Amino acid sequence: MIVSWGRPVSFNNGNSSASTIISASSWTECVMSCWNSLYCVLAWSSIDSCVLYDFGTVLEGEKLDSSSNSKVAMKVSVKKMR
């Protein structure tokens, strides 16, 4: 997962219907919930919420600074080169 201060701002079809709000006791739990989900590609947390977004839902994100208290974690896949 790649973590940065930021938030999702643009969604496929103009909405975020393929997102799930979960109860997570920490940022780590929020990120791990996305990591362990088959379709989740982005976790977003701001203060006391955790939202998981499925593949194809988020089109664009906005980079913020730490004063926003808004973090995103993006799932990436790395393949070994031979």
How many other C-beta atoms are found inside a 10 Å radius of the C-beta of residue 39? 14
81 located within any domain: no
Residue 79: predicted pLDDT: 80
Residue 44: predicted pLDDT: 94
Residue 14 sits in a domain of what CATH number?
3.50.4.10
57 located within any domain: yes
26 located within any domain: yes
Confirm if 64 and 6 have CB atoms less than 8 A apart.
yes
Residue 52: predicted pLDDT: 94
Q: Which domain holds residue 15?
A: 2-74
Q: What is the pLDDT along the chain (82 residues), one digit of tens a residue?
A: 999 999 998 888 755 556 888 888 899 999 999 999 999 999 999 877 899 999 888 888 999 999 999 999 999 888 877 7
DSSP secondary structure letters along 11-51: EGGGS-TTEEEE--SSHHHHHHHHHTSSSEEEEEEETTEEE
80 located within any domain: no
Residue 14: predicted pLDDT: 59
